[in-house]
Structure 1
Amino acid sequence: MAILTAGCSGPNQLETAPVKGTVTYKGKPLTFGNVSFRPEAGSPSTGKIQEDGTFTLSTYGDGDGAIIGLNQVSIIATERDAGKEKEADPNTEMTVSKSMIPKKYTSFSTSELTAEVKAEEVNEFTFELND
């Protein structure tokens, strides 16, 4: 069983490179949320935004980065991420959490943010969000 699992994990995975960065909103570090990179082919990568505005991406494993090549970027930061959302009543439907940044950044197709991830290079990006 272990041999079968090991054989499936490597050959079908596209090459990744470490990626880290910072997100700011209105000139200050964004202290919560998630950053996602979507490559032209393969799996997307994600990373949680830390209290200092930094993030580190993971695709297949913790901290392995993003797939090499051009990636579209989306950033989500909601009241839920910020810990500002009221606790939901268990007897009601779950509501969509309100975005704390302009909605255009929450979709790959509208964010207008991209990042070129390169092999064997320092891939550090800064995303400055504005209204």
Structure 2
Amino acid sequence: MENILFLQYPKCGTCQKAAKWLSNNNVNVVVRDITTKNPTVAELTDWITRSGKPINKFFNTSGRIYKEQNLKDVVKTASPEELIKLLSTNGMLVKRPIVVSDKFVLVGFDESEWAESLSQSRF
């Protein structure tokens, strides 16, 4: 079985719910606290590309830092490279949880999407 990376903020309710779901569904993951080990520019570039989602979907738009820095406007006008660099500066800017496998990247917790993707990745 492949290694599956689970990026979370341990105090995040959605991350806790997702972690419980992973455990209940016997999905073994390598856990990484997104606040103590920020995703790198290279990781984010890879994950965004592989997820098929636009960069703005990787921003934690409900987070305090996003709101305090008024990043809503920045996200609309900055280049993809600038946005990825910004995301790499602080894990609290990144939407979570994130699941990264060899076959897919999931952003945010959508139980049906997770069930479909993770069931297809088994052996």
TM-score by length of 2: 0.27
TM-score by length of 1: 0.26
**Higher relative contact order by CA 8 Å / sep ≥ 6: 1 or 2?**
2
Structure with more of its chain in helix, by fraction: 2
